Chains A and B, each alone.
Chain A
């Protein structure tokens, strides 16, 4: 009968443990509690193993981390006869669990594995955390304090408080205080002052975990009205903080999307917005820029410049896409000035040709473009998570926008370009070669699209269809922002990006996009010339 046998096995185990303890006591004074603890493992019962883990941690034995690690990996064995416990290390040799010494005379064949279940596994994790809390390694202590907070296991309280008494590092200390508060809040027991203190600590922490814990503290069956009120107000405060961070996170995503839109649209703002050319091949200029990045990366892969290939790719993409743009302008668009609908069709044809050309040369599948080290990874600012790649794209976009403004505002070329846009015949009469300016301006717009391709190659698939996915968005941005107005393009791109990301949580990505498109269509009905319409003479030109 199992029921009846249980006590007897326990007695036997205890006796054996006692015997083992006596035996070991002859050797070393500290070995006794260790052997006592290890004897529990040999009992081959889950509750016994559970007790054994606590005892092992309490013993403070130097072999304890190794034993716990072995237990969680299933490398801890015991001899059913002698009730001794052994660790099998990676090489397959057996060590005595109590002393860590090689057990040369024992073979694994006669041993039984100490069994595990999920309760034991989580117990081990907590116990290892308890050990790590007092580890000499600072990062280990920090991680352990963090784990203790996340687990908020009431059994770990002693370990946390012991560690707190010893700890000197302020960051770890703060973490341990939070861990203790988490344990108090989760347990829902203890004196009122302690609970209030815990709630205040958690409120200061103010993240999602803290919110759960505060709710638990407030929901404890014996919580006093003061505790309940404090928990409710702390929960409200944390919810507010979280909502603010969530909004900021959405704003960041929106800013990031907006900068991508801006990057794709900014070249179009020159060709379409300033020059009035409908360039349906604009997306293909972006695609050419992305492929230039790929080619540059391949060419420099084995050279010393390999790490800086993106920096080389930026001017290369500008030149390649710009040259293609100038060729298109001189060969085709020049003959179609004043006929925007025909320009639209002809440039669409150009876009088909360019796509097929790239497909024929590079193949239809995606080309890999590696991200440089500085664009990998992510970091946290408060409750914000920021990926480095996205951040650099935002920075890059700002740089491109600023550079373009300088070119348009502060260079002779920019001056001539604006003059031609505003009054072509007058500019011509003043000695400006309007045809040359047209070609260069179109080249500038195309070159900037090429630069956009360098950035977009980092976040999108470099395939012949790359440009197609940006062309409609780009036109939407330029039309929404107002033709002929770079600042309008900036505002339009960022506001569309942010609006999209704020709609996404409610509506999903596709519906958000549809909503944005519908909004722009309606907006154009209301203000056919965009957010920032040009006024005055420029309109007549």
Chain B
């Protein structure tokens, strides 16, 4: 297959929208007076900024699921780990302004009668170090976990289930006070980031623009990866894993590499999410969150990148709307979305758009053939 153009027309539109949002939203929020109908409140800016973080998570998930057939039900774990790394930096920035006014320890450690900062917290006063951890911790976990899982040829639903077990185990672990990450309450009461007040409208607008930039960058990286030869091999693995292996590709290396990249993107999403919502707690590890992220991708259209981001924003906007207006019915709707999309819209919204706008041909365009690896219940062949 000839190598593809990195950015399709749709991708360029997507990037243009992101750039426009990154510029316009701060202007509308800060420069336009509050009385004007064009003014954006800090609440709205933060809300949409949160959606953008979800969109980046969905993009990361689409990279592994849509292009490599790895359905991870544990991507929320990477998101949360990135969030915790950022949260730890923000905790250290509080300094002596906590309730206990201890300059060396976060409040919850004082409360637990600890006297020294645990090793895991060393260095988190430095923004650079914290950002490195945002990438490294999820990346390293994904690399180790992925390497072992893919080397043993754990595929299909088995992989989905053990990724779910992974995030569940982390959920249980982070609930423990002894872990030193705030236990049940998590990390919160943040004061400022890089010296700027985290509550101020300016910081919020900046975080919003940063989220736009991260999403745009993530999109470009993911698009470049999928358009490269590496990406072609990923698609080959998705559609016929055994055949790709027999052709001489080291399937597990490819899978582990893309899984790690995806986890790092999820970590960045989490790191941008935490300063905007102002809290990170073990609830972010809940398996339900990770599965919800999968439905964003499915709604938008898997294997399209843009669709994943679109799906994340749409579903979460719907969630905000419905939990506000009909809180009783949101779960019915979300559940119905899971069922309806898988049954009637397997290619998601973008797939539907493609089908409706495709020029009529003599033959109807063939659906993507079901991958042979998906047809049977995983039969990871032992050697």
Contacts and interface: CB of A to CB of B under 8 A. Distances in A.
Contacts of A349: 295, 334-340, 342
B343 A341 contact: no
Contacts of B339: 332, 346, 349-350, 353
A520 B166 CA distance: 10
A481 to B, nearest CB: 13
Given A352-B331, A356-B335, A524-B162, A340 B342 contact: no
Interface string B342-361: 11001000000000000000
Contacts, number: 142
A271 to B, nearest CB: 12
A524 B342 contact: no
Contacts of A339: 370, 374-375
A47 to B, nearest CB: 45
Contacts of A343: 342
Nearest to A476: B165
A521 B71 contact: no
A541 to B, nearest CB: 8
Contacts of A524: 149, 152, 154, 158, 162
Interface in A517-541: 517-518, 520-522, 524-529, 533, 539-541
B16 interface: no
B375 A338 contact: yes
B142 to A, nearest CB: 14
A502 interface: no
A342 interface: yes
A479 B158 contact: yes
A345 B335 contact: no
A520 to B, nearest CB: 7
B157 interface: yes
B378 interface: yes
Given A339-B374, A340-B374, A351 B335 contact: yes
Contacts of A353: 331-332, 335-336, 339
A352 B334 contact: yes
Nearest to A520: B165
Contact of B331 (A342, A356, A472, A513): A356
Tier of interface size on chain A: 35 or more
A278 interface: yes
Given A332-B343, A514-B172, A528 B338 contact: no
Given A336-B343, A346-B343, A360-B328, A472 B160 contact: no
Tier of interface size on chain B: 35 or more
Interface in A321-378: 332, 335-336, 338-346, 348-357, 359-360
Nearest to B173: A514
A514 B328 contact: no
B165 A517 contact: yes
A352 B148 CA distance: 32
Interface in B294-335: 294-295, 298, 328-329, 331-332, 334-335
Interface in A29-55: none
Contacts of A528: 152-154, 158, 380, 382
Contacts of A340: 156-157, 374, 377-378
B291 interface: yes
A509 to B, nearest CB: 9
B160 A344 contact: yes
A429 interface: no
B26 interface: no
Given A349-B335, A356-B332, A479 B382 contact: no
A335 B151 CA distance: 32
Contacts of A262: none
A511 B175 CA distance: 11
B154 A342 contact: no
Contacts of B287: 472
Contacts of B334: 349, 352
Interface string B167-180: 01100110110000
A338 B374 CA distance: 7
B112 interface: no
Contact of B176 (A278, A280, A483, A510): A510
A304 to B, nearest CB: 38
A333 to B, nearest CB: 10
B342 A345 contact: yes
B149 A483 contact: no
Nearest to A328: B339
B34 to A, nearest CB: 38
A521 B165 contact: yes
Contacts of A306: none
Contacts of A533: 382
A344 B71 contact: yes
Interface string B157-199: 1101110111011001101100000000000000000000000
Interface string A103-125: 00000000000000000000000
A353 B294 CA distance: 17
B70 to A, nearest CB: 10
Given A525-B148, A525-B154, A355 B331 contact: yes
B160 to A, nearest CB: 6
Given A338-B370, A352-B335, A524-B154, A517 B168 contact: yes
A252 interface: no
A318 interface: no
A442 interface: no
Contacts of A280: 291
Considering residues B151, B169, B291, B295, which has the most beta carbons from chain A within 10 angstroms of its beta carbon? B169
Contacts of B71: 341, 344
Contacts of A342: 342, 346
A414 interface: no
Interface in A478-511: 479, 483, 510-511
A472 B343 contact: no
7 contacts: A336-B342, A345-B291, A349-B334, A472-B287, A517-B168, A528-B153, A528-B380
Given A355-B331, A524-B162, 15 more contacts: A280-B291, A332-B343, A339-B370, A339-B374, A346-B343, A349-B335, A352-B338, A472-B164, A479-B161, A479-B162, A510-B176, A514-B172, A520-B162, A522-B148, A525-B149
